[in-house]
Amino acid sequence: MDPGRKAGRNKPSDIKMAGIMGDVVFFKNQEEFKDWLEEHHAEAIEIWVGYFGISTGRASLTWSASVDAALCFGWIDGIRKTIDKQSYKIRFTPRKVNSVWSAVNVKKVKALIQLGKMRPEGMHVFNNRTDAQGYSSEQRNVELAKEYEEQIKANQTAWLFFTNLSPSYKRDSIWWVMSAKKEETRLRRLGMLIASSEEGLKFQHCKKYYRIRKYK
């Protein structure tokens, strides 16, 4: 699979980048990633971005800088996977208007607006989001009850998938489970989260409806 996959067809990128390992692109800095987004954000449906650990001494884009660049063009980070002991990768995709925004990303966009870095594409997604308020820090920082965590850990397949997802997704998932007022509702949501994780599915949870989306 090409690093930047387009809907309906694959086309190799002609942007000069830090390096490509399989389906992963290692950008040396934020500017290289922004160059890729500039050319491909409107057509590509995904890209796996690679990151080297600080101990490697290799030039590498940071997670925070990559998210800033993605937000500018209306994209967002998603599932995270380990490559080896020195590197990992994160999947970036165009953000859907009806996706849930974390407080961290809302804050990032507001800062990017002040700096004049947001692109029209990114502003369109941000201004038309259905979750206009985003999550508060109190909501996002809630901890998963110990007995619930033990239930997820009991399913090794689900636990491995869940722990490899992005921090923002895990925070939102935990808040979604714990925010229910009734114990029976919390357990039902936990069961749905475990079931989807076991099947390698990322669970998109919103206030009024729930959707499951598969990540290959």
pLDDT in tens, 56-68: 888 889 999 999 9
pLDDT at 204: 57
Q: How confident is the model at residue 207 (pLDDT cuts 50, 70, 90)?
A: very low
Percent of the chain scoring above 70 in pLDDT: 78
The pLDDT, as a whole number, for residue 177 is 85
Specify the pTM: 0.57
CA 136 to chain centre: 18
Euclidean distance between CA atoms 141 and 127, whole angstroms = 25
The average confidence (pLDDT) of the chain is 80
Question: Which of 95, 96, 89, 121 has the alpha carbon at shortest distance from 1?
Answer: 89
pLDDT one-digit tens code per residue, 99-136: 878 888 888 999 999 899 999 999 988 888 876 655 54
More confident residue, 6 or 148: 148
pLDDT at 161 over 70: yes
For 17-26, 46-55, 162-171, which range has the lowest pLDDT when averaged over its residues? 17-26
d(CA 44, CA 54): 29
Identify the three-state secondary structure at position 167: helix
5-31 pLDDT, tens digit each:
554 433 334 334 445 455 899 999 999
Work out the angle at residue 208's Cα, subtended by the Cα atoms of residues 202 and 213, and round it to the nearest 5 degrees. 20
- Statement: residue 69 has pLDDT above 90: yes
